[in-house]
Amino acid sequence: MFIARVIGEVVSTIEHPTLRDKKLLVVEKLTERGDPTGDSQLAVDSVSAGEGDTVLVLDEGSSAGLVTNLDNPPIRTVIVGVIDSIDIED
Amino acid sequence: MHLCRVIGTVWATVKVDTLTGYRLLVVQPVSHDLTEKGYPVVAVDTVSAAPGQLVYIVKSREASKALEEPFNPVDAAIVGIVDELRTSS
């Protein structure tokens, strides 16, 4: 899983059936200290994350099927949590 | 899942059976500000995308799950066409 910030959204009407009712958010990877890395990607939302939220993003297929409760969907990146705070030992 | 611009098509008559019937499109990954990111890849098209369109692809093992035939040698599949991209940054 990686830490990211929601920076946008994708609206799409022509898509794979498993994505039909899913919200697609644009997330930018953050370092563990919360600094943007400039590396962005799309992720399926499963926790109603909003723009500007710091989120936890799953980046692995088999669990994506469990979280979206779909049978073997072509989905890899799923937002699985909204992060309240991160403590890093200095 | 990655934003990409469709930039071309690959024609291949001799190929693995499970790929017959699918279009192979050349896509250039782009960042959320549409600047190019990394190298173009060839992705199987499942949504009838056309050159020039902004699409999004799924990569690695999950890409093969976008096709009917469960066992197929695909590691990148176009799974949607972008109508609108809104970003705040």
Q: B8-22: per-residue pLDDT in tens?
A: 999 999 999 999 999
Q: Does A37 touch chain B (CB under 8 A)?
A: no
User: What is the predicted ipTM?
Assistant: 0.89
- Copy the structure tokens of residue A25: 């958010």
pLDDT of amino acid B45: 97
Q: Does A13 touch chain B (CB under 8 A)?
A: yes
Q: Does A59 touch chain B (CB under 8 A)?
A: no
Encode B60-81: b = buried (16+ Cβ within 10 Å), e = exposed. Answer: eebbbbbbeeeebebebbbbbb
Contact A72 B1 (CB under 8 A): no
Contact A15 B83 (CB under 8 A): no
What is the chain A residue with the closest CA to B74? A74
Q: Does B35 touch chain A (CB under 8 A)?
A: no
Considering only the beta carbons, identify the residue of A14, A38, A64 that sits closest to B81.
Answer: A14
Q: For B31-84, write each residue's pLDDT tens digit.
A: 999 999 999 999 999 999 999 999 999 999 899 999 988 789 999 999 999 999
Contact B47 A72 (CB under 8 A): no
- Copy the structure tokens of residue A8: 């946008």
Task: Say whether pLDDT at A12 is over 80.
Answer: yes
CA distance B87 to B68: 33
Q: Per-residue DSSP letters for A45-78?
A: ESS---TT-EEEEEE-HHHHHHHTT-SS-S--EE
**Phi, psi values for residue A66, rounded to 5°:** -65, -45
Contact B56 A42 (CB under 8 A): yes
Q: For A19-60, write each residue's pLDDT tens digit.
A: 999 999 999 999 999 999 999 999 999 999 999 999 999 998
Which residues have CB under 8 Å from A69's CB, separation 6+? Answer: none
Q: What is the pTM of this model?
A: 0.92
